[in-house]
């Protein structure tokens, strides 16, 4: 149980285009989902926290107009990287927390490459 | 702010070797401490945790003790297996349960038969 999936697992896009990454909790309802970014040989850095039905809370330094987060249901959150640039190339990881539970469950990540 | 410093790898061990992965932290008060493991192609999984000083977390033969005096949470296993090959992340959550996890850089472990 407590499986989180991400789609796609790997995406290449051209500079200036937008790309959407989906995060789904497959067998539980997630009131809170988190989006992280990981650069090679670096830590996971929290980008934003999203609660179902409300606006996401972004960490300092993260551009909310560039990284659009939608958490429209208890099983789905999406991250849209708008007008992507090569410096947005990274590994994006989501996690989800069950209602009334403490632990975060992580997705396998999405590798974004912007050319 | 809160931060985590852990051993960086990669590290290669032979099966049945002893494993220690060092982790130290900087935080105010009493954070909760975690070790996560990421197997190839999978998401991070919680390996063990400790929520107060002197607590010992343990799972799958791994152990880590919350040491307030040395601000450390070192991960140990007495005899590693090939199946332990993965990336290990130390993490903390600030006191009060803010839900925000702060991660170390991760350490890749390869265990050879």
> Is the CB of residue A50 less than 8 Å from the CB of residue A94?
no
- Per-position pLDDT tens, chain A of length 115: 688 999 999 999 999 999 999 999 998 888 899 999 988 777 889 999 998 888 899 999 999 999 999 988 889 999 999 999 999 999 999 999 887 777 789 999 999 999 9
Model confidence over B67-108: pLDDT tens digits?
Answer: 999 999 999 999 999 999 999 999 998 876 666 889 999 999
d(CA B35, CA A6): 22
Radius of gyration, CA atoms only, chain B: 13
- B99 interaction partners in chain A (CB closer than 8 Å): 32, 34, 49, 97, 104
> Is the CB of residue A67 less than 8 Å from the CB of residue A80?
yes
- Structure-block tokens of residue A106: 């992580």
- A97 interaction partners in chain B (CB closer than 8 Å): 99
* Residue in A with minimal Cα distance to B106: A43
């Amino acid at each position: 149980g407590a499986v989180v999936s991400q789609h796609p697992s790997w995406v290449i896009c051209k500079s200036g285009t937008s790309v959407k990454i989906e995060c789904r909790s497959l067998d539980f309802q997630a009131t809170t989902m988190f989006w992280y970014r990981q650069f090679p040989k670096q830590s996971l850095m929290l980008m934003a926290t999203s609660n179902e039905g409300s606006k996401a809370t972004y960490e300092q330094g993260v551009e909310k107009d560039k990284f659009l987060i939608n958490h429209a249901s208890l099983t789905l959150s999406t991250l849209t990287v708008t007008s992507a640039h090569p410096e947005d190339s990274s590994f994006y990881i989501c996690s989800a927390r069950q209602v009334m539970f403490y632990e975060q469950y992580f997705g396998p990540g999405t590798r974004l490459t912007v050319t | 702010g809160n931060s985590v410093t852990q051993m960086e790898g990669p590290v290669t061990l032979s099966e049945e070797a002893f494993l220690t992965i060092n982790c130290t932290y900087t935080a105010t008060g009493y954070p909760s401490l975690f070790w996560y493991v990421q197997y190839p192609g999978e998401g991070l999984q919680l390996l063990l945790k400790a929520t107060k000083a002197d607590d010992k977390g343990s799972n799958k033969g791994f152990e880590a003790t919350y040491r307030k005096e040395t601000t450390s949470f070192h991960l140990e296993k007495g005899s590693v297996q090939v199946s332990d090959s993965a990336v290990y992340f130390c993490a903390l959550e600030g006191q009060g349960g803010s839900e925000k996890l702060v991660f170390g850089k991760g350490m890749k472990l390869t265990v050879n038969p």
